[in-house]
Chains A and B, each alone.
Chain A
Amino acid sequence: MFELIIWISLALIASSSFLLMIRLIKGPSVPDRAISLDAIGINLVGITAIMSIVLDTSAFLDIILLIGILAFIGTVSIAKFLEKGEIIENDRNNQ
């Protein structure tokens, strides 16, 4: 019963990632694609957590936090590129 629930939730997250992939390909504007990429990253966190339950190991728990940090930094840098045109500024106070 527990195993069935695990596989069903894994299939649901996978189909959610698939639908987000459609938005990533079709998305009319760039922010649509950025948000769908961020949500795919968060779905990847869920997939990693469920797979670590399936494989009965705690070795992947660091990966979960790692994907969260990388998704945050990546999304912030995409947002800053869309907003200002450059990701790392030289001097923001007097330019």
Chain B
Amino acid sequence: MPNETTPLRAGAVNVPYGHVIGNEKWKGSQITQGIQGKVNLILEDGLGIVDFHLSNRSCILYISEADMVAGNGFKRRLVQFRNVCNLQGIIIVEKTQISNQYFPAVQKFVVLELGMTLVPVANQGEAAQFIIQLVHEQMKDGASNPFLNKRSPTLLEASLFETVQQIPGVGKTKALLLLKQFGNIYQLCNASIPELEEVVGRTLAQQIHTFFTCAI
């Protein structure tokens, strides 16, 4: 490959919204055929070691069945990628009956050692489907991702009620009385035995005090 020395081209990093920029070498392949029509695909020359640029933040490196069987050459490419840029690298790997045996080692290297993302596919058709989904995901705003949206601040009353009931000897009724009297965990924890006795009986007051202050 002529571009082996230029691992990345900076210009390709500006991917238009909803587009994928692919390496020229994928022209006419099953992947490009699968993507075309669903997502706008632009093929460019000189992307170096990157196969597809998804957005300003992430790109895809494709490891074929043949790459895996051939040996460790692809590892150099991944390390090179990681050393030169700070984009998120998503590695798509062809996991077939033939390359299956190499998969665990590749996964260990990519995910555990390099800290990159790895997704197995059975063939180029599946890879195309997956790339389409990745593009759709990046076009959505963060709120539609169930793992990204911040949960609205919930009322903590129910949790507090639960926490106070973890004190030995305190059930629902006593928990409510204690919380009403002391207002928060801090006050409850620092209450003296006589203060506690105003709410609960002597024995339990002693027990609560011991629970909080006893050296464990």
> Do these two chains really belong together in a complex?
no
B residues with a Cβ closer than 8 A to A are none
